[in-house]
Structure 1
Amino acid sequence: MTLGQNQYGKAQNHVVRIVRDGITHHIKDLTVSVALSGDMADVHLRGCNAKVLTTDATKNTVFAFAKEHGVESAERFGMHLARHFVASQEAVTSARVRIEEHAWERIEAPGGKPHSFVRAGRETRTAQITHDGEGWQILSGLKDLVVLNSTDSEFRGYVRDRYTTLPETTDRILATEVNARWRHAGTGGEPGGEAVRWDHSYATVRDHLLHAFAETYSRSLQETLYAMGSRVIDRCPGIDEIRLSLPNKHHFLVDLTPFGLENDNEVYHAADRPYGLIEATVLRDGAEAAIPVDLTNL
């Protein structure tokens, strides 16, 4: 038997970093998961821990780095961590850091204080940073970004067989929950080098995704997905690849005729399952796909 690919680390480290600028405070709330790979055959085959950095130490590093380096952005924080683990541990040849950022909004109220926040009811920002001592792969992303168009969507002309019951429509609700990852070209701004404005980059991609969704007349969710991905690649030269996973949040017209009522595209049943799932990657010409197909664990 042969030991295959393996990794270990500490998952779901929930770290909150507060920056106190006088009476005004700023908050960064991250869930950080670290996975380390390398020369780990001895611990698997012989139970020898001589090359194992404890997962407890990995956890402690996350919290210590939040103090020592601060949290400028999810991507840059993950890069500091990944570089540290590869550079400081001879047996570790690759480090992957996955981060979810939980947004908070300042409470704007009469008499409110600049250190009061409410958890933002929006998507979760994600980042995955992989470093092998030489190269970097930076994947930024988001999940659970729920969007809806109440018109400008149709679905017709599809294959029909003996099991097809879905009626064609020229006017429907199109709703989805955007889950996306995008890969930055090159090193993505190595710490100490030319810095990517990560927060600005994230906001820009998010805006393009939303604008493409809102501006595209949709004949299928696939067409909308491609329009969203294409807009990001076209308008963000630092991004080579984006993978989108869009569940179709179906809205079905309710039959109100038993009650003597007409339903002119006004009342819908929002079904949460089962749902159609549309996934695809949009690449810059000449780029090779590198984002894993499975986006279920962003």
Structure 2
Amino acid sequence: MTADSRPARPTLLGQNQYGKAENRVVRIVRDGATHRIKDLNVSVALSGAMDDVHYSGSNANVLPTDTTKNTVFAFAKEHGIESAEAFGVHLARHFVTSQEQIHRARIRIEEYGWERIGATGHSFARTGQETRTTEITFDGRGFQVISGLKDLVVLNSTDSEFWGYAKDEYTTLKETHDRILATEVTARWRFSWTGEDETEGDGAENGDAPAWEETYAQVRGHLLEAFAGTYSLSLQQTLYAMGSRVIEHHAGIDEVRLSLPNKHHFLVDLEPFGLKNDNEVYVAADRPYGLIEGTVLRDGAEARIPVTD
């Protein structure tokens, strides 16, 4: 559509995308009596030459969202799901390279964990610890892969202080040199791999792509080890330690963004009952809560993970 054919009004179409959200796909790999399960929630968003459908309602360039849904399930069979990242790379490349009018594809995936139970090879229980996430964007030239996790609740029962902070006439919080530090970790990390030299596959064939499954386990471990191993004077200090440990141990990760709500635990006043509370009994408050967010970058890297979406 040319500028002259646009509606005669003082508006222009801005950034836009469309697709099918939250396609719940479960893939079972049956290796004899031993089965493996991948449980994903896949959201597809496409953008490109979409002016006409917004200005005039012409659907000539619109690949139906139902087609994107069907593609997710067909690819689960045809390509399997080795990892959430590799699956997303396959999908993103497909939509951009198979449809001339689609210039950019964004695939967001949540993965739900399962663990084996019993003596059989086919019984599972949801782990219920955290949800694994990944976002793959492809623009026809290269990929951006941002993986992560959310809803990972952690707690240190000591080795945390909070004192020496700024005060004004509204400050009532008492300083403490021994407190519970608890948070629910949301972490996202951006890989330096872009696959720009790749024309087929997910990059794993020539060793350029990260080992997605192995890297996830390692990054999760480093986040937990940094949380547990940091004597914390502030949650900000802990956040920086967690992000730094990931980057220091993984050359292929350039950026880590963390969101850490402070899950407050307040000492209960037991003096009215003639009892001393020596850092033993707390009330867990779910709101309001302090929210600490920050990005840790490899020196020289550019921040690309969005603060908000």
Instruction: Report the AA paired with residue 12 of structure 2.
Output: T
Separation (CA, whole Å) in 1 of partners of 2:17 and 2:31: 40
2:175 paired with 1:168:
yes
Give how far 1:186 is off.
2.8
Separation (CA, whole Å) in 2 of partners of 1:36 and 1:117: 35
2:218 paired with 1:204:
yes
Partner of 1:94: 104
What CA deviation, in whole Å up to 9, does each residue of 1:65-89 have, x standing for no partner? 0000000000000000000000001
2:145 paired with 1:132:
no
Kept in 1: contact 2:149–2:188 (CA 8 A): yes
Q: 218, 222, 227: which one pairs with 1:213?
A: 227
Kept in 2: contact 1:184–1:241 (CA 8 A): yes
Separation (CA, whole Å) in 2 of partners of 1:261 and 1:101: 47
Partner of 1:255: 269
Kept in 2: contact 1:179–1:246 (CA 8 A): yes
Q: How does 1:114-129 map to 2 (within 5 A)?
A: 114-129=121-136
2:79 paired with 1:51:
no
Partner of 1:190: 203
Q: 1:125 is paired with a residue of what secondary structure?
A: strand
Scaled by the length of structure 2, the TM-score of the pair is 0.93
Kept in 1: contact 2:261–2:291 (CA 8 A): yes
Separation (CA, whole Å) in 2 of partners of 1:154 and 1:89: 56
Q: Runs of 5+ in structure 1 lacking a partner? A: none
Give how far 1:187 is off.
1.3
Separation (CA, whole Å) in 2 of partners of 1:115 and 1:61: 27
Give how far 1:196 is off.
1.9
Q: Runs of 5+ in structure 2 lacking a partner? A: 1-10, 196-201
Kept in 2: contact 1:229–1:244 (CA 8 A): yes
Share of identical aligned residues, percent?
Answer: 73
Give how far 1:113 is off.
1.8
Instruction: Report the AA paired with residue 25 of structure 1.
Output: H
Residues 121 and 136 (structure 1), Cα distance of their counterparts in 2 relative to 1, 3 Å cut: same
Kept in 1: contact 2:258–2:294 (CA 8 A): yes
Q: 253, 270, 276: which one pairs with 2:284?
A: 270
What CA deviation, in whole Å up to 9, does each residue of 1:33-82 have, x standing for no partner? 00001000000000000000000000000000000000000000000000
Q: 2:67 is paired with a residue of what secondary structure?
A: helix
Separation (CA, whole Å) in 2 of partners of 1:22 and 1:190: 29
2:74 paired with 1:64:
yes
Residues 192 and 10 (structure 1), Cα distance of their counterparts in 2 relative to 1, 3 Å cut: farther
2:34 paired with 1:24:
yes
Separation (CA, whole Å) in 2 of partners of 1:274 and 1:219: 21
Kept in 2: contact 1:123–1:143 (CA 8 A): yes
Give how far 1:121 is off.
2.0
Separation (CA, whole Å) in 2 of partners of 1:192 and 1:237: 20
What CA deviation, in whole Å up to 9, does each residue of 1:8-56 have, x standing for no partner? 0000000000000001110000000000010000000000000000000
Q: 242, 258, 274: which one pairs with 2:256?
A: 242
Instruction: Report the AA paired with residue 30 of structure 1.
Output: L
Give how far 1:193 is off.
4.2
Kept in 1: contact 2:193–2:210 (CA 8 A): no
2:187 paired with 1:180:
yes
Separation (CA, whole Å) in 1 of partners of 2:204 and 2:22: 24
Q: 1:183 is paired with a residue of what secondary structure?
A: strand
Separation (CA, whole Å) in 1 of partners of 2:183 and 2:206: 38
RMSD: 1.0
Partner of 1:12: 22
Separation (CA, whole Å) in 1 of partners of 2:296 and 2:206: 28
What CA deviation, in whole Å up to 9, does each residue of 1:130-150 have, x standing for no partner? 001111100010000100000
Give how far 1:114 is off.
1.1
Count of aligned residue pairs for this structure pair = 292
Kept in 2: contact 1:79–1:190 (CA 8 A): no
Kept in 2: contact 1:254–1:263 (CA 8 A): yes
Q: 50, 60, 68: which one pairs with 1:40?
A: 50
